[in-house]
Amino acid sequence: MRTPRNTPASDSSADGEALLDVRGLSVDFPVAGGRGRTLRIVRELDLTVAPGERVALVGESGSGKSVTARALLRLDRHAVIGGQILFEGRDLVTLTERELRRIRGTRIAMVLQDPQTTLNPVLSIGDQLAETLTIRGVPRKAALVRAREALDRLGVARAGERLRAYPHEFSGGMRQRVCLAMAIIGDPAVLIADEPTTALDVRVQQQVLELIDELAAESGMAVLLITHDLGVVAGYADRVAVMYAGRKIEGSGVEDFFAAPRHPYAQGLLRSVPRVDRDVSTDLDLIPGTPPNPAEPPSGCAFHPRCDRWVERCLTEIPELRVLQDEERAVACHRALPEREEVVA
Amino acid sequence: MTSMTTSALLRRPVLRLRRMPKLDRAAFAMVGLLLLTVAFGPLLAPYDPYHVDLGQAMLPPGAEHWLGTDSSGRDVLSRVLYGARPTILGSLCAVGLSALIGVTVASLAALAPRWVDDAIMRICDIALSLPIMVMALGISVALGPSLRSAIIAMVLSWWPSFTRLARAEIRTTMTSTYVESAVITGVSRWRLMTRHVLPNSLDSVYVQVTLEIGGATLIMAGLSFIGAGAQPPSAEWGAMVESGSRFLTSAWWTAVVPGAVITLTALAFALAGDALRARTSGREVM
Amino acid sequence: MSRTLLAVDGLGKTFASRDRGEPVKAVDDVSFTLDQGETLGLVGESGSGKSTITRCLVGLERPDTGTVTYDGFDVLRAGRDERRRFRREVQLVFQNPYASLNPRMTVEDLVGEQLLVHQGRRSREGRRERVVEVLEMVGLTGAHLPRYPAQFSGGQRQRIAIARALVSEPKVLICDEPVSALDVSVQAQVINLLRAMRRELGLTVLFIAHDLAVVRQLCDRLLVLKDGRVVEEGSREQVYGAPAHEYTRALLAAVPIPDPAADRARRRHYQESR
């Protein structure tokens, strides 16, 4: 059973111990047939991950959370990335493709949402696992041995036999374990998990998340968990960053966040989640409207059309992400300071 | 999930001429020009295409006759303009009718019991395995060579390919949730097909029609060339090439001009079809 | 007193296995009743048979065994008129609003289709009036009539789908995972809408879902399915408070709670009660 680790619930990177330090990240995509026009999907994003830390990046569809995750490894060829992604003293934004390839998979690994499409259907599990190592010069025999060890570590029974199996012979949960094995086989410093359990049943979700947790605890690997599920955040992260319309709007330690989120969107989101441990007598308290279209974000604070606390200023001025006084959290809201606690049920 | 919605958003599904690549634009313009010729060609023709004047025979292109005259002294430009109708209209008819029959048969097959469906598809397989030109030639000879029999021949050999295409598309659409939703609603089979299934299945058929018109033009001209289609002295491009080919050394324009027009037509429709396909396949209707 | 509106008895459906091997029993001897005015939750993971049960109920699949009785008549062997009545009075809302609306039809045609099919006598104006009425019920307006599904967000599409189901004034609404494809903030809106509709229209609801947290917000009674069989049945208080079956406990223990303290406490609770 996992216990919450004691990591400083700090959001600043000033302490200099960050393993991954993202500063002012922006991601633009060219508009198809738009004659060089681009669309900014992620804006001015700061994010730090300390060694061994579990950070969750939360948001709804269109918030830019997945784009951010993919941008960290520059996986979208068409994306134009701005800002800095500092990792072990190097800026991933300026690295050549060749240098980046040496980091991908070995230093920073990634698990995607859909294990079905991540695995190549015509290669055996063993071949795919070993490939991660052989392309880096590990002899095939040794690679297969390590592949077997990786499966063993992930609790895949009869690992030796399973190496010869093909992806379609595995269940969804098993496939995600294989993907995890592929990710950790190179002993990465950071694991980026992009909605790793969204396609899975709830019991399998729990198993996979707990596996990630155990692996991280064993090897000191840091985890960046991309998810839309606040429940998952509560159970498997030390710190949380909430995204809305391409921006980070709140960042803090998990305990603080769930005790009392400060951004109106984060508050509304938390109230909207149905809870399995509670009956509702009244209707769920909700945020009106829908998340904005990234192509046409509202003026000023992108959340103002759905906010019940907006003032004149919210319509014109984009709120900056500021660290709150006496608190280890940052919020991007003009109205975050005065209100307190009224949301906690 | 986010990246998917984003990429769908970045795609502009609307067919916009201004945003099109130059080649696509040229293809669509050429198709438009050809269709205009079909409609108004005879009005534009400077001479009577059937007026024989042996004194004016085999004149090279010049001020009087822009594209020269043929061995009977008929104006080549006028004959090419007149010839657009039998050649292109004939191909349009042949492909259009084939598509119509194909889609109808495919719809019936989709609604029929399994064994009827299977039987129809096997018939299509057999028909498809016969080479189209040979089959068309046989039919054309049996019915007596004429433009009409060329069209009939082409339709007879072509509908199975449209049936196959439409059946595959319909099969996919039939499994979609909105079709199931309509089934649950209890709509009639007619409404199910016309409102729910066909509008969501025919994109690729439209594309195929456009693509095939080019090929059909070639076959139509080819049938005329070998004497199985439109007969001389009618102004049909294939027949023109055939009669001109005898004078290739002395009066090259009599064969090369209609030949070039045939090539251009086939090319224009093929390119336009390709452009359409790129546009529809990259599009999610959702 | 509530009376039974829909009764399923001994439902079974076996599919031939895709590769060689044993045929798969998707649904195995499932029985339950749906009383007027209640909301029954059908809960299970993928492969539990809940979708097959839904498909059998609405006639997209024919069960191998068992009967479905609606308001006194046998649905599977019903005559034409009774079947029409069933189709009008029992409506289905699908899981994925991106797939369940015909992209080539306007909102007016989508929502009005029921009326056209079942009450063809109504004039176009009469139909439109009713369509607008239902659209307003679900939080849309008459201005949306000429638009196509692509112009709406997921939440709005699900509202259109709900309007489509409600237009013929059904008695029973079958909801097949109606919010699982939606964003969290939009999910809450649709859950609220369903609660409001149930209250205002006195609907009887069969709610199929995998998400136990969502089910808790909506259902009076639950049926937990595993591998095509019912493993637990009970009221909401019973199932959530004191789950009897091992499987139900495991499911409940696995649902994450957006509250770190409660999450830890809950895990301890279900682990001890094992």
Report the alpha-carbon distance of residue C116 to residue C124 in Å, rounded.
9
pLDDT on residue A344: 39
pLDDT on residue C21: 67
The pLDDT-based confidence of C89 (bands split at 50, 70, 90) is very high
Domain assignment present for residue B69? The answer is no
Report the alpha-carbon distance of residue A237 to residue A224 in Å, rounded.
9
Number of domains into which chain B is organized: 1
Domain assignment present for residue B224? The answer is yes
- The boundaries of the domain holding residue B153 are 30-38+75-280
pLDDT on residue A11: 44
Name the residue in chain A with its Cα closest to that of C48: A201
Instruction: Compute the average pLDDT of residues C8-21.
Output: 82
Three-state secondary structure string covering C17-67: CCCCCCCEEEEEEEEEEEECCCEEEEECCCCCCHHHHHHHHHCCCCCCEEE
Domain assignment present for residue B158? The answer is yes
Report the alpha-carbon distance of residue C9 to residue B172 in Å, rounded.
33
Quote the DSSP letter at residue C255.
S
**How much of chain A, in percent, has pLDDT values that exceed 70?**
90
B171 has a pLDDT exceeding 80: yes
Average pLDDT, chain A: 85
pLDDT on residue A76: 86
Size of interface B-C (CB pairs under 8 A): 60
Instruction: Compute the average pLDDT of residues B173-194.
Output: 88
The neighbour count for residue B135, using CB atoms within 10 Å, is 16
pLDDT digits (tens, 9 = 90+) for C147-183: 999 989 888 999 999 999 999 899 999 999 888 888 8
Between strands A54-58 and A222-227, the pairing is: parallel
What domains can be seen in chain C, in order of their start residue?
A: 4-242 (3.40.50.300), 244-274 (no CATH)
Report the alpha-carbon distance of residue C86 to residue C90 in Å, rounded.
6
pLDDT digits (tens, 9 = 90+) for A9-31: 444 444 457 899 999 999 999 88
Indicate the burial class of C35 (C-beta count within 10 angstroms; 0-12, 13-18, 19 or more).
middle
B22 has a pLDDT exceeding 90: no
Measured between CA atoms, how close is A344 to chain B, in angstroms? 29
pLDDT on residue C224: 96
Q: B181 to chain C: which residues are within 8 Å by CB? A: 92, 94, 100-102, 164
pLDDT on residue C31: 95
Chain B interface disruption, residue of A41, A68, A78, most B CBs within 10 A: A41
Report the alpha-carbon distance of residue C176 to residue C173 in Å, rounded.
10
Which among A35, A39, A62 is the nearest to B2, CB-wise?
A62
Average pLDDT, chain C: 89
Which residues of B have a CB under 8 Å from any CB of C? 176-188, 191, 195-196, 199-200, 285-286
Domain assignment present for residue B148? The answer is yes
Which among B178, B184, B286 is the nearest to C58, CB-wise?
B184
- Asked if A34 and A80 touch (Cβ cutoff 8 Å), the reply is no
Three-state DSSP state, A123: coil
pLDDT digits (tens, 9 = 90+) for C209-247: 999 999 999 999 999 999 999 999 999 999 999 999 999
- Asked if A59 and A266 touch (Cβ cutoff 8 Å), the reply is no
Looking at chain A, which subunits does it touch, using at least 3 CB pairs closer than 8 Å as the criterion? B, C
pLDDT on residue B2: 35
Average pLDDT, chain B: 81
Work out the angle at residue B133's Cα, subtended by the Cα atoms of residues B266 and B154, and round it to the nearest 5 degrees: 70
Structure tokens at A194: 């992009």
pLDDT on residue A343: 42
B200–C104 CB contact, under 8 Å: yes
pLDDT on residue B18: 52
Q: C166 to chain B: which residues are within 8 Å by CB? A: none
pLDDT on residue B286: 31
pLDDT on residue B5: 38
Which among A32, A61, A113 is the nearest to B12, CB-wise?
A32
The CATH superfamily assigned to A9-107+189-345 is: P-loop containing nucleotide triphosphate hydrolases (3.40.50.300)
**How much of chain B, in percent, has pLDDT values that exceed 90?**
13
> Which residues are CB-contacts of B109 (< 8 A; sequence separation ≥ 6)?
B116, B117, B120, B121, B163, B167
pLDDT digits (tens, 9 = 90+) for B185-207: 888 888 899 989 999 998 888 88
pLDDT on residue A327: 74
B6–A30 CB contact, under 8 Å: no
pLDDT on residue A16: 53
Which among A30, A32, A64 is the nearest to B2, CB-wise?
A64
Q: B196 to chain C: which residues are within 8 Å by CB? A: 102, 105
How many residues make up chain B in this entry? 286
B140 has a pLDDT exceeding 80: no
Indicate the burial class of B16 (C-beta count within 10 angstroms; 0-12, 13-18, 19 or more).
exposed
pLDDT on residue B8: 39
Find the range with the poorest average confidence among A221-225, B22-26, C138-142. B22-26
Q: A283 to chain C: which residues are within 8 Å by CB? A: 192, 195-196
pLDDT on residue B113: 87
Segments of chain A with pLDDT less than 70: 1-16, 33-35, 115, 280-284, 337-345
C99–B183 CB contact, under 8 Å: no
B215 has a pLDDT exceeding 50: yes
Domain assignment present for residue B21? The answer is no
Measured between CA atoms, how close is B89 to chain A, in angstroms? 34
Name the residue in chain A with its Cα closest to that of B5: A62
Query: Which residues of chain C from 172 to 201 reach within 8 Å of chain A, CB to CB?
Result: 183-189, 191-192, 195-196
Q: What's the CATH number where B184 sits?
A: 1.10.3720.10
Which residues of A have a CB under 8 Å from any CB of C? 1, 4, 60-61, 172, 201-203, 205-206, 228-235, 254-255, 258, 268-280, 283-288, 290-291
Closest alpha carbon to C183 in A289, B203, A285: A289
Q: B188 to chain C: which residues are within 8 Å by CB? A: 117
pLDDT on residue A3: 45
Q: Which of B24-38, C194-208, C255-269 has the highest mean pLDDT?
A: C194-208
B285–C104 CB contact, under 8 Å: yes
The pLDDT-based confidence of C271 (bands split at 50, 70, 90) is low
Q: A294 to chain B: which residues are within 8 Å by CB? A: 6, 9
Domain assignment present for residue B92? The answer is yes
Domain assignment present for residue B24? The answer is no
Instruction: Tell me if chain B has a CB within 8 Å of the CB of A244.
Output: no
The neighbour count for residue A148, using CB atoms within 10 Å, is 20
Q: B178 to chain C: which residues are within 8 Å by CB? A: 99-103
Measured between CA atoms, how close is C36 to chain A, in angstroms? 21
ipTM at complex level: 0.83
pLDDT digits (tens, 9 = 90+) for A120-156: 888 888 888 888 888 878 888 888 998 888 888 887 8
C54 has a pLDDT exceeding 60: yes
Q: Delimit the domains of chain A by residue range.
A: 9-107+189-345, 118-187
The pLDDT-based confidence of B281 (bands split at 50, 70, 90) is low
Domain assignment present for residue B64? The answer is no
